[in-house]
Structure 1
Amino acid sequence: MNPFEMVIGIVLIVTIGSVVRSLLGLRGDHKGNEYAVHDRASDDRLVEEIRRLRDEVKVLKERQAVIERITVEKESSLEREIERLRDQ
């Protein structure tokens, strides 16, 4: 076998392996050479989790705004009460 045939053989083997992996739904793990089955359901779960976390952050920001408003109102009402007591 000459070097040209060997290179063609290696390229052919790698190409066939890539095609078979894609047909079986396998994808490479970037942390190693392990392969995992690509699970569409896990992607859907991740999207749902992201959506849920965004909604939770939105609710928490609204609650923080309410707490800030209450705090400011209490401070201003406390100042008014102090001024009222001074005026007496």
Structure 2
Amino acid sequence: HGNVCVHPHEISELAKVLPRPMSTLYDEICVIFVSDDREATANIFERTPLLVRRGHILRALQWLKHNNPLYSDVILDHDALNEYPVDGRVP
């Protein structure tokens, strides 16, 4: 149960090289978890709900390239991948 808001993007430009550099994440994605048993307050925007594991990102992208023809031409950007934490929060 819940709400989702999606805005159109030109996905072909976003998905040519993955992962996207961390510096572009705030321009491209916003994830906010809310609950119906707690009121949403202004401080919810100060939280960082996005946790990542660099190895999981790499394995997921490699799996997609190997198993999904739509990702076969995607270039894996290891410099951008190294911007992500090994296991932690995205700042």
TM range (shorter): under 0.3
Point out which structure has higher relative CO (alpha carbons under 8 A, 6+ apart).
Answer: 2
TM-score (norm 1): 0.20
TM-score (norm 2): 0.19
